[in-house]
Amino acid sequence: MNEITLLSVISLGALGTIAAVILYMVAQKFKVIEDPRIDIVADKLPGANCGGCGYAGCRALAEEIVRKESLDGMSCPPGGNDVMKDIAAVLGLEATEQDPTIAVVRCNGSHENSPPKVRYEGAMTCAFAHSLFAGTGGCPQGCLGCGDCVVSCDFDAIYMDEQTGLPVVKDNCVSCGACVKACPRNIIEIRKRGKKDRRIFVSCINKEKGGVSRKNCKVACIGCGKCVKECNFEAIVFENNLAYIDYNKCTLCRKCPPVCPTGAIHELNFPPRKPRPETKTEPAQA
Amino acid sequence: MKTFTLGGVHPPENKFSQNAPIRELPLPETVTIPISQHLGVPATPVVKKGDTVKTGQLIAKGEGFISANIHSSVSGTVQKVDEVIDTSGYRKKAIIIKVEGDEWEDDIDQSTDLIKDCALTPEEIIKRVNEKGIVGLGGATFPSYVKLMIPKGKKAEYLIINGVECEPYLTADHRLMMEKAEEILVGISIQMKALNVSKAIIGIENNKPDAIEHLRKLLPGYPGISVEPLKVKYPQGGEKQLIKALINREVPSGKLPIEVGCVVHNVGTSYAVYQAVQKNRPLLNRVVTVTGKSLKSPSNFMVRIGTPISQLIEEAGGLPEDTGKVVNGGPMMGKALSNLEAPVTKGTSGVLIFSSQETSRKTMLSCIRCGRCASICPMGLEPYLLAVLSDKKRDEDCEAERIMDCMECGSCLYICPSGRPLLDHIRIGKGAVGKLIRSRSH
């Protein structure tokens, strides 16, 4: 070994040692003490980083839970009650049971119900189409059908039905709310999933006068108010020519869908009506 | 010959109606006058259902600094003040008037005699232009009186008059220059007086040699005004491009032409200013070109504001059977109409009819990085990049890439060999960045 090699090994070794000592001391000085429970909670969360809880991601929610030491108002839509219970058990807290929710598309202006009057050829994004024109069917509040909601979904839980031109929410929706934000017309709403996935909602958000909205779409809410009179639980709010069913008050009694003259009120996942025929509906059909 | 240096495209001119004299369109049965026909705050209606109005009567008052008065273009009874479907299919508030006869306000001079001398002071001129609801008739409909008021500390050197009409197909300004040249020149002199400038340049592309010659013949009677022929290139009618072409000055990014001592007005606006100041006549009508390859008789009409567009098409030979698209404006910047019953507004410069073969967009292919959009962008932007950034919602990066400088001329969309909807994405980005900027100031 010649002298230069020896010298360089020694000098670099010394340099390395000094640097290591400095780094160690700096690390000690500026040590970030983090609650170990954050890691534990973050591990329990699904790690989808969907933002459905209202925080920037799963870790942000974990930090918030540990900092507040409470689970009040916290929820994890993809994980559901199970995940929250798990976290509660780890931290020795109590989780509030929350009703599972799902995204609901409140427009039924399919190609058939709202026939296209014009053709759209621009960029296939709802954001642009919305700024450009009312929509092919003419309804200024209806679905544009360009699929911004489909693009926004991280869970592959919404798809575009080619036949109707409307988005359809699949059962695996975690109600993170990404599609709600993506829709420029606020058509999609997060609603309670309901018992056995049964839901009743008004599938229209058009606030125009009845005659006007009906001209563009066969199944528009025309604001007649019949459903409001039919409801015994004051669950239907009527405002600006539009009925809205409050899912917290609705008891799923199924009285309002038959009275809607345009069929704008949808009921999902119910058994067929036959077994419990209401006396009222029979003469109407005859 | 002069032109602007950066970018530009050469779409086919197709000026079919350039020799068709301006015809007065017969009065429609009803007119629909929207209360928002200008940039800025919508006007407030001052008439109600059942009122009788005369031609030229004020029916909606402009409120706020950037706004414009709106006058009745016909005489008759107000049927209703309600929301009607506009050109895009959305409902906008408008005043609907049933036409009965044609009785004008008494103080309007209806004669066609030329009045050359203007005794009004600059302040009075600006006041008159404001009162009579004059807006920029080139298409952007910016209230004209705002442009005539020079901000403190700035000085105007040149009045630039836009007679370029760089949009293919459109010939409204061309015909106006041929038929109302003297009135336009008087209008320019009035604007010069209001701005206190001694030099005015009318820029005209050299595909209109007859207009250049005609105006030049009349120039000796009007000191300070000159006519400058320009090489044909789109979008020369853009304010910044026109200033660069005529006096070789560059307006800085995000600034107005007054920054380099210029004020730009359209020839149509100059004519309207003449009418307002010398004849006391509000903006009641405008020249609209109705054209298209498949149309029987492409024409130029003098149309009362509020006339349904369908009537214009009817008058020009009816809607051809194979029509695929009707565009409000020119082919480059115009927007497709989704409702032909929509009315002509102050900003309608043309109605363009495309057959179904001409209209369809190219199928969208991948970007091949040819860079043509960047090489032709008259603002020196990179449209392919802006489109991607806007698509990825990177609004801050869009802003850094000067997306707000885009004037939506459509050159990038025209040149793209892959048929990508570049401008559509840029428009979304502009909307998002605009929101971002507004949220910062709050």
Residue pLDDT, tens place only, B362-406: 888 999 999 999 999 999 999 999 999 998 989 999 999 999 999
Give the residue from chain A lying closest to B359, CA to CA: A121
pLDDT tops 80 at residue A283? no
Nearest-neighbour CA in chain A from B327: distance (Å): 13
Q: What is the pTM of this model?
A: 0.85
The minimal CB distance from B421 to the residues A123, A135, A138 is found for A123
Tell if the CB–CB gap between B424 and A117 is shorter than 8 Å: no
The CATH classification number of A36-91 equals 1.10.15.40
Q: Taking CA atoms, what residue in B is nearest to A118?
A: B338
- Interval B146-169 mean pLDDT: 92
CB contact under 8 A, B424 and A122: yes
**How high is the mean pLDDT of chain A?**
89
Q: Are B383 and B355 in contact (CB under 8 A)?
A: no
Q: How far apart are alpha carbons B280 and A126 in whole angstroms?
A: 46
CB contact under 8 A, A117 and B428: no
CA pair distance A1, A6, nearest whole angstrom: 7
pLDDT for B370 = 95
Of A122, A133, A208, the CB nearest to B421: A122
Q: Which residue of B has its CA nearest to A121?
A: B361
Does the pLDDT at position A165 exceed 50? yes
| The pLDDT of residue A206 | 92
B101 in A contact zone (CB under 8 Å): no
Q: At A52, is the pLDDT very low, low, confident or very high (cuts 50, 70, 90)?
A: confident
Interface of chain A toward chain B, CB-CB under 8 angstroms: 117-118, 121-123, 125, 127-128, 131-135, 138, 140, 208
pLDDT tens for B250-285 read 999 989 999 999 999 999 999 999 999 999 999 999
CB atoms within 10 A of CB A22: 10
* Residues of chain B neighbouring A118 (CB-CB closer than 8 A): 89, 336, 338
User: What domains can be seen in chain B, in order of their start residue?
Assistant: 23-99 (2.40.50), 122-279 (3.40.50.11540), 287-359 (3.10.20.600), 372-441 (no CATH)
Q: How far is A31 from chain B (nearest CA, A)?
A: 34
Rounded Cα distance between A203 and B388, Å, is: 35
Which pair of structure tokens corresponds to residue B427? 């428009």
Q: Supply φ then ψ for residue B325, to 5 degrees.
A: -155, 140
Inter-residue contact A230 to A265 (CB < 8 Å): no
Question: What average pLDDT does chain B have?
Answer: 92
The answer, yes or no, to whether residue A281 has pLDDT greater than 50, is: no
A151, pLDDT greater than 70: yes
Q: Do A133 and B88 touch (CB under 8 A)?
A: yes
Asked if the model's pLDDT at residue B77 lies above 90, the reply is yes
B89, B338 Cβ separation under 8 angstroms: yes
Positions of E strands within B9-69: 22-24, 30-34, 44-45, 52-53, 58-61
Chain A contact present for B91, CB below 8 A:
yes
E-strand ranges in chain A read 101-105, 158-161, 166-169, 188-192, 199-202, 236-239, 242-245, 265-268
pLDDT exceeds cutoff 70 at B333: yes
Q: State the pLDDT at residue B362.
A: 82
- Going by C-alpha positions, the residue among B13, B9, B125, B82 that lies closest to residue B377 is B9
SS3 A29: helix
| Res. A286 pLDDT band, cuts 50 70 90 | very low
CA separation for the pair B122, A130 (Å, rounded): 43
> Binning pLDDT at 50, 70 and 90, where does residue B305 land?
very high
ipTM: 0.83
Evaluate if residue A32 carries a pLDDT over 60. Answer: yes
Name the residue among A48, A57, A52 with its Cα closest to residue A177: A52
- CB-based contact (8 Å) between B335 and chain A? yes
Quote the pLDDT of residue B119: 87
Check A121 against B89: CB less than 8 A apart.
no
Residues 6+ apart with CB under 8 A from A151: A182
The domain spans of chain A are 36-91, 101-285
The CA distance from A141 to the nearest CA of chain B, in Å, is 9
